[in-house]
Structure 1
Amino acid sequence: MCKACDYTIHSAQHHFGWDNSLAPAERVAPGSTILFQCHDSSAGQLGPSSTVADVTALDFGKINPVSGPIYVEGAKPGDALKITIESFAPQARDGAGWGWTANIPGFGLLADQFTEPALTLWRYNPATMAPALWGTQGKVPLKPFAGTIGNALAERGLHSIVPPRRTGGNMDIRDLTAGVTLWLPVEVEGALFSVGDTHAAQGDGEVCGTAIESPMDVVLTLELEKDANLRTPRFSTPGPVTRHLDAKGYEVTTGIAPDLMQAARDAVASMVDLLCATRGMSAVDAYMLVSTCGDLRISEIVDMPNWVVSFYFPRVVFE
């Protein structure tokens, strides 16, 4: 347990979807430090002994649970909730951190090309957070973060947790890791903050739709900035954000098209082809692997009519 924490939000205190009528799991004063026990994005439907059949059987009404909500005393519409991300601790099973990556039919950037379910299971050392082994071929550097972190919306009713929102939510920003400060717009009294969907590692883009989905305990400090009037979330990092990947350089493929989405798809598909050709892996394995550690970047967006999107795959995975 977190000795420095003022509150603990237990794993049973979670919800699916944003709804400003939900009763708070806790009411806290600004400046409180809170331990959140977060489920993986499947809400426990997948585990260390799961099979591909379990991917097919997923109940999508129970995806991306978030722990909370937290009512922050004094928070009003127009304020910003300032979140200091203190730490992540994997919820170990049998002494090991664990996670999963899946190709879920109908989901992901290349869903039309990868129509069958697939599953990769991961184990890693929760004390050292050393890179997680990818079969016998490679290892993926770990960088834990919360994929879903946000406040309730002003609009009444239940809103899906899948798309990101102006108040945060399922943003899947790989750099929202320990040491980062995040500001979220407040649209309802008390903010009604929740967090979940923790990952052990992810590439920018999360291109297959999943990363290393891994349940974790998250410690956050919540403060208020009055009358900030943010339109969308912003955050500040304490230092470099790709140091865990940079050491051996990158292999890079590009997509060039008049549409950014098509360029992104082409860049990822070319990297899948490259890994299949050079590493002898199956296409779906390559697709899942790049989702955990490869980065999509907009390289050029001014030279009309075509834009350039690049996909960076870190060579450290195989070296």
Structure 2
Amino acid sequence: MPQNVFPLDSSTRFADHDKVGHNRWHPDIPPVYTVKPGESFRVDCREWFDGAIKNDDSADDIRDAPLNTVHTLSGPFAVEGAKPGDLLIVDILDVGPIPQEEGPLAGQGWGYTGIFAKKNGGSFLTDQFPDAYKAVWDFNGQKATSRHIPGVEFTGIIHPGLMGTAPSPQLLKTWNQREAALIATDPDRVPPLALPPEPQGAILGSLEGEEFERIAREGARTAPPRENGGNQDIKNLSKGTRVFYPVFVDGANFSVGDLHFSQGDGEITFCGGIEMGGFIDLHVDIIPGGMEKYGVKENAIFMPGNVEPQHSQWLAFSGTSVTLDGEQRYLDSQLAYQRACLHAIEYLTTFGWSPEQAYLLLGAAPIEGRFSGVVDIPNACATVYLPTDVFSIDIRPGAGEPQKIDPGIGAPRSSFDG
């Protein structure tokens, strides 16, 4: 086993460890450890809310989730000799839940999926699902099942939702300026258009005093993906993946976190993967001058792993860029994907699942989302593919009546309105 350079104790808060990670992007957050090119190492990762979400039958914790504290990232890890303009090679050697543990922390044999309330983050379908919902999933080897969504079982594509390098001072300034300009176009929007720097809840490694206060005021939130990689939530970054990250600062200052046991394309419920803590084994190397050499000056490129489950049959749903009210939009691929997801949700309700159960399932199970047509004006076409073998009943259309499942206790719901 590679040396664990960032160990975490499941009984201790993330910020109380000897080596403390971070939850903001900033070039001046000091690295917690330095690795050499060609070195392999293990990193423990805490679930993104540091234990705020419980294994119970209430969604109050999802409703009240402290968004200003995410993500609990392990790192930064400096890579000896890395310089701005290089490409950092990151190989995922292994990744999984917290080994050989059962307990109250996500990753200790279980994980969760949440639909975020519109007043606290929202989701891809927030207008149709404005309240908070939760599903808890139990792990049995590589399989996941949930008491909140009976009738389904699937193999997880375990992966980190977030990996990335530190931004340069100029890149950080660019992020904050452009996102502030977007917020200014509709500052009172719910959910907000973007998340500005927020000192409250900031975790910044070993920093203290005035330096902590400065960086907390400047640090970019980790919620969106950006040029450095970040929270891309690509489900295919599984074991065996190789990623090439642009390097913007000396040492690269690489960080990782937000592990998922499984996820559907798009992580459409916002807390859409099966969130968990766990471990990840990495190998790093450097391509000197690789950003210019290969034209990878922003946004990582990657070679996905080859350990994904093999599904032989799919049921696919399509959507176009027309709103639920019948308004025509011009080649709006995001709207088309929303409509495809809504069609899949409505279809699954005919078998007994509630709309919320179906939506949570699309966030957690390994569905495939595709932009299928983006040139035929005025309608973009998007599709969502459901693997049929994850269901305990046959969900394909047929001549007889649809089979029905027992929806069980259902998905816990919590509303700000009571």
Which of the five TM-score ranges fits, normalised by the shorter chain?
Answer: over 0.9
Taking the TM superposition and a 5 Å limit, the aligned residue runs for 1:1-319 are 3-5=1-3, 7-11=4-8, 12=17, 13-49=20-56, 51-91=58-98, 92-94=101-103, 97-106=109-118, 107-125=122-140, 128-133=141-146, 135-155=149-169, 156=172, 157-209=218-270, 210-229=272-291, 230-231=296-297, 232-239=299-306, 244-247=309-312, 249-257=313-321, 258-277=331-350, 279-293=351-365, 294-319=367-392
Counterparts of 2:44 and 2:24 in 1: how far apart (Å)? 17
Cα distance in structure 1, aligned partners of 2:52 and 2:274: 15
Contact kept? 1:141, 1:245, Cα under 8 Å: no
**Percent same amino acid at aligned positions?**
28
| Amino acid aligned to 1:129 | Q
Of the two, which has the highest radius of gyration?
2
1:123 and 1:52 map into 2 onto residues whose CA distance is 17
Contact 1:133 1:140 in 2 (8 A): no
Superposed displacement of residue 179, structure 1? 0.6
Residue 136 of structure 1: CA displacement?
3.0
* Local SS of the residue matching 2:253: strand
SS in 2 for 1:261: helix
**If the length of structure 1 is used for normalisation, what is the TM-score?**
0.92
Q: Would you say the 8 A contact 1:28–1:70 is kept in 2?
A: yes
Counterpart-to-counterpart distance in 1, 2:374 and 2:70: 34
Distance (whole Å) between structure 2 residues aligned to residue 245 and residue 286 of structure 1: 22
Deviation at 1:133, TM superposition (A): 4.4
CA distance in 2, matches of 1:176, 1:147: 8
Q: Would the aligned equivalents of 1:254 and 1:309 in 2 still touch at CA under 8 Å?
A: yes
**CA deviation after TM superposition for structure 1 residue 238, in Å:** 4.8
CA distance in 2, matches of 1:292, 1:61: 23
RMSD: 1.8
- TM-score, length of structure 2 as denominator length: 0.71
Report SS of the residue matched to 1:310.
strand
- Where is the strand percentage greater, Structure 1 or Structure 2? 1
Work out the number of aligned pairs and report it. Answer: 310
In 2, Cα distance between equivalents of 1:71 and 1:81: 11
